[in-house]
Amino acid sequence: MPESRHILGAFEGAITALMSDVRRMGTLALQNLHNAAEGLLTRDSDLCNRAIADDEEVDLLEKKIDRQGIQIIMRYSPVARDLRRVISSMKASTAIERISDHAISLAKRARKLNERTAIPETDGIRELFDLAASELEDSVAAFCDGNLEAALRLQTRDAALDNAHAAFTQRVIARLEEDATHVNDYVDLLFITRFLERIGDQSVNIAEDAVYLLTAMDIRHGGELPELGQRIA
């Protein structure tokens, strides 16, 4: 536990830097997702390539957050909420890195779709992308701002994306059954919708990390939820 005022200040400074890296990582992942999806929806493969190229910065931040987290633990021996802030940041960064990875997978499939004739079903991705992007944005904000209410809403919100994903998948499979000329396109779309659904899942994980940070309650896998406003040291 930090003892003197001086050490306390240094610890707070280190934690603030860690959190701002998490926030920056979230912003970059969201931008990659945005570029990948717009690259698909506007058939702009340059945007897809930008998403793919920019993923490196997310990777580097993931490593930096882990490195800083370990240093903070060694230097300050934080306990209780201070330790949860460090460990949860490391966990959230793993989830954000996965999300950016899914955005890259999306961009790669989008490039292939862009090389072939446009199919109307692609437009259906817009709804899924909007849901996934807002989950990502809000979960990272809830984590970095310590907003318990927003974090607790994520699980429910993700159900909308799950439903949209299931409906879109059924629609594409039905098209596949009718029309064999665009098999590759439909298969790419099936994978793309799956990536967006996974991004929603990872956003829920980030929100769960936020809840753990704020309340010390591990709500993963259907754990008991805290009361609103419940926060502990």
Partner 1 sequence: MPNTPPTRHILGAYEDAITRLNGQLLRMASLAEQNLANALRGLLERDENLCNRAIADDSDTDELEKAIDQLGHEMIVRYSPVGRDLRRIISSMKVCTALERVSDHAVSLARRARELNQRPPLDEVALLKPVYELAAGQLKQSVDAFLRGDLALALHIVQNDDPLDIAHYELIDRLTARIGVDNARARDYVPLLFCTRMLERIGDQAVNIAEDAIYQLTAQDVRHGGDLPPAPAE
Residues near partner 1 (CB under 8 A) are 56, 59-60, 62-63, 66-67, 69-70, 73-74, 77, 79, 83-84, 87, 90-91, 94, 169, 173, 176-180, 183-184, 187, 190-191, 194, 218, 220-221, 223
Q: Which CB, 87 or 167, lies closer to partner 1?
A: 87
Tell me how many degrees the CA angle 165-169-175 measures, rounded to the nearest 5: 150
Cβ 218 to partner 1, closest distance in Å? Answer: 5
Task: From residue 161, give the alpha-carbon distance in Å to each of 68, 74, 168, 181, 221.
Answer: 34, 40, 10, 29, 18
Please classify residue 16 by burial: count the beta carbons closer than 10 Å to its beta carbon, then call 0-12 exposed, 13-18 middle and 19+ buried.
exposed
Q: Which CB, 135 or 197, lies closer to partner 1?
A: 197
Q: Are 136 and 26 in contact (CB under 8 A)?
A: yes
Cβ 194 to partner 1, closest distance in Å? Answer: 7
The torsion angles phi and psi of 19, rounded to 5 degrees, stand at -65, -35
Q: Which CB, 149 or 178, lies closer to partner 1?
A: 178
In angstroms, the first-to-last Cα distance of the chain is 13
Cβ 29 to partner 1, closest distance in Å? Answer: 14
Cβ 145 to partner 1, closest distance in Å? Answer: 23
Q: Which CB, 66 or 130, lies closer to partner 1?
A: 66
